[in-house]
Every structure is written in structure tokens, then in C-alpha cells.
Amino acid sequence: MNFQFQTLADMINRQLSVFPRHKLFLNRRFDSAGAEDLIFCEEISKMILQISGDELPTILDDYRWLCGVFMEEELFFRREGRYRHRTFEEAQRTVYSDRVFHSRYLNGHLMTHLWWANHTDTLRYFRNVFLPANKQQFRHLEIGPGHGLFLYFAAAAPNAATIAGWDVSPSSIAATRHALFAMGAPRPVDLSLVNIFDASEARAGDQQFDSLTCSEVLEHLENPPEAMAAIVDLMAPGGRAFICVPVNSPAPDHISLYRSPEEVISLVRDAGLAVEDTLFALPTGVTLERARKDALTINTVVIARKPE
Ligand SMILES: C[S@@+](CC[C@H](N)C(=O)[O-])C[C@H]1O[C@@H](n2cnc3c(N)ncnc32)[C@H](O)[C@@H]1O
């Protein structure tokens, strides 16, 4: 680990103080990290410090807890070849309606953007590849912003005009609002409690967006193609979408299982969008070939454009 990245180094030490068994994992994660990754992780560390404030010890402990929850789901997935829950109601019972569980889940998920290379790479691709190619004065919407890191980067983009975030969960909206305030988002962000399936009622008039993010949301839904249709409807002609779906990614609130990046690409194409670029982001030390063979997680990102 190169200690010119002092905030990251401190964050690693603090994480290991509550989760010593993670040492091998974090050593591997950062021993193989390139300069660009380390610079970005230093930046993410600072953002997480701002978001967490005095709550950092709780957030680090919630990450330790989340790894245990995910391990149980991984074992189920290996044994049964499917996700444990198939309906929104089952996920709701386990995750969303249990306030403590959901809060720990949100906190742990925030930390994964630093510790899990597939999440860090997805976020960096969003900031470095997706946002700069948007047109000047783009109108942006994120569905399911959760921790708020993607939305913050959109709000910080020099070519952005307006920024909105819609989420179905009041606690997620509260977390996004807190994060954007704590990081000092450079533009106002319009946050609303909206279910993507009610998008047509939620939009103001014939409101449309030039840029839309839907990251790690579709696998939470019973009917992703219906959500994709709603997304396409919200996009302006020529508008761009950043769609991210983790394949083979067991979690207690994942109910729609995609088994290959190609299935995700088809989901996007079948909704009527043209694929502009893709990223298959992998866990540390895993090749794409091995991920396909052993059904490991691949964060599949599709940048797609709505025809004019
Ligand atoms: C795992 S988080 C994703 C956070 C962030 N976008 C990311 O990529 O890391 C999923 C988010 O989607 C929201 N969500 C789930 N179902 C939704 C729906 N039907 N409509 C809008 N948001 C939804 C959840 O409340 C949560 O904030």
C-alpha cells in the first residue's frame, strides 16, 4: 500500500480494527490497485469521511456485518443456484421493513464502494466516461440513488444543468439527502419519494431527462423490463442512460437473477435503447473468464442512448 494516500490508509486501518479477518482481502484489493484506482479511492475515502462524520465506527461495523449477510446469501446461491427471495414482498419483509437491518445495510453498502473493486470501478466509469460525454446543460435523473455517491458526481459535473433523484424508500431518500449535504453538493438536487413503476404520475408534465442513472436497482424488482420501459419513457430523444446490474450477485433484496452480462445487454436493447459502451467490472483477482465459468459477480454496466 502506497502511503501517499493517507486518508485511504487511515480508513483501511480503521476498518481492520473492527474487522481484522478482512486483512487478506484488503491487502489483495490494494496490492493489485493501479495509480488511477488509488487516487480515486483516496477521493472516495474523503467523501465517506464527510458522509459518516462521528458515525464512522458504526458504518465500518455495519460493513463487517453486511459481509456476513452476503456470505450467507452466497452459500444459498451456490447450493440452490438461485437467489433466496423471488418477490418484492419477501425482500420487504427481510430488508426494507426492518429499520435497523435496512440502516445497517445502507451503511455497509456505502463502504463497498471503497473496498469492492467492482463497485469502485463502476463509480469511476460513471464519473470519468459517462458524465463527460453528456451534452452541455444536461438534465439528470437518478432512480434509486441510495448512498448518493453517483448523484454527487452528477451534481459536480460542469456540464450539468438540473439534478433529480427518485427513490421508493424514505430511509434511502434521507440517506441521499444527508450525504449530498455533508459532501457539499455544488448544485441543488431535487429529491422525491417515487416508485419507478409510478414514474408517469410522478413526472412534472412531459418532463424528460438527457441523462439517467439506474444502478443496482433493476435486480431489486420483480419486473425489470417494465421498469426499463418506464426509464425509456423518461428519457429525452438522444438522451443517455447508465444502467448497472450486477449478475450472479446474491443479496437478501435481490430478486431478479441475471446470469450473464449478455442478459443485461438484451434487457437494455429490448427496451429500445442503442448500446454505446459497456463495462464488466469484476471483483479483485477475478478474470472475466473465471467469473463466467464459476458464476461470480460481474457488475454489468451498459451506457445506452435513446434514438432521436
Ligand atoms: C442498492 S441501492 C443502489 C444505490 C446506488 N444507485 C448504487 O448503485 O450503489 C438500491 C436503491 O434502489 C431503491 N429502489 C428499490 N426499488 C425501487 C423502486 N421500485 N423505485 C425506485 N427506487 C427503488 C432502493 O430504495 C435503494 O435506494
Domain assignment present for 31:
yes
* Residue 154 and residue 220 in one domain: yes
Closest C-alpha to ligand 1, atom 17: 168
Count of structural domains, the chain: 2
Q: How far is the CA of 20 from the centre of ligand 1 (A)?
A: 30
Q: Find residue 213's DSSP bridge partners.
A: 142, 242
* Residue 89 and residue 163 in one domain: no
Mutate to test the pocket of ligand 1, among 48, 98, 217, 226 (most ligand atoms within 8 A of CB): 217
| Statement: residue 210 has pLDDT above 70 | yes
Domain assignment present for 1:
no
Alpha helices in the chain (DSSP H): 6-18, 23-31, 35-52, 56-80, 88-91, 99-115, 117-125, 149-156, 170-183, 199-202, 224-234, 261-270, 288-294
Closest C-alpha to ligand 1, atom 13: 144
pTM passes above 0.95? yes
* Residue 72 and residue 191 in one domain: no
* Residue 16 and residue 93 in one domain: yes
- Cβ neighbors of 303 (< 8 A, separation 6 or more) are 129, 130, 240, 241, 242, 243, 275, 276, 277, 278
Q: How far is the CA of 31 from the centre of ligand 1 (A)?
A: 31
Q: Could you say which of 115, 139, 164 is where a domain stops?
A: 115
* Residue 104 and residue 124 in one domain: no
* Residue 162 and residue 86 in one domain: no
| Statement: residue 31 has pLDDT above 60 | yes
Q: Which domain holds residue 163?
A: 117-305
Residue 89 pLDDT class (50, 70, 90 cuts): very high
- CB pairs under 8 A, 24+ apart, for 53-56? 53/182, 55/107, 56/14
Q: Mean pLDDT over residues 153-168, rounded?
A: 97
Mutate to test the pocket of ligand 1, among 151, 168, 302 (most ligand atoms within 8 A of CB): 168
Residue 215 Cβ < 6 Å to ligand 1:
yes
Closest C-alpha to ligand 1, atom 4: 146
pLDDT for 93-132, tens place per residue?
888 888 899 999 999 999 999 999 999 999 999 999 999 9
Residue 1 pLDDT class (50, 70, 90 cuts): low
Residue 258 Cβ < 6 Å to ligand 1:
no
Residue 143 Cβ < 6 Å to ligand 1:
yes
* Residue 163 and residue 21 in one domain: no
Angle at 256 between CA 250 and CA 258, to 5 degrees: 75
Closest C-alpha to ligand 1, atom 12: 144
Is residue 289 within 8 A of residue 128, CB to CB? The reply is no
- pLDDT confidence of residue 2: 56
Q: Measured from the CA of 142, which atom of ligand 1 is nearest?
A: 6
Measured distance CA(14)–CA(71) in Å, rounded: 22
Rounded to a whole number of angstroms, the distance between the first and last alpha carbons of the chain is 47
| Amino acid occupying residue 25 | F
- pLDDT confidence of residue 209: 97
CATH number, domain containing residue 153: 3.40.50.150
- pLDDT confidence of residue 3: 62
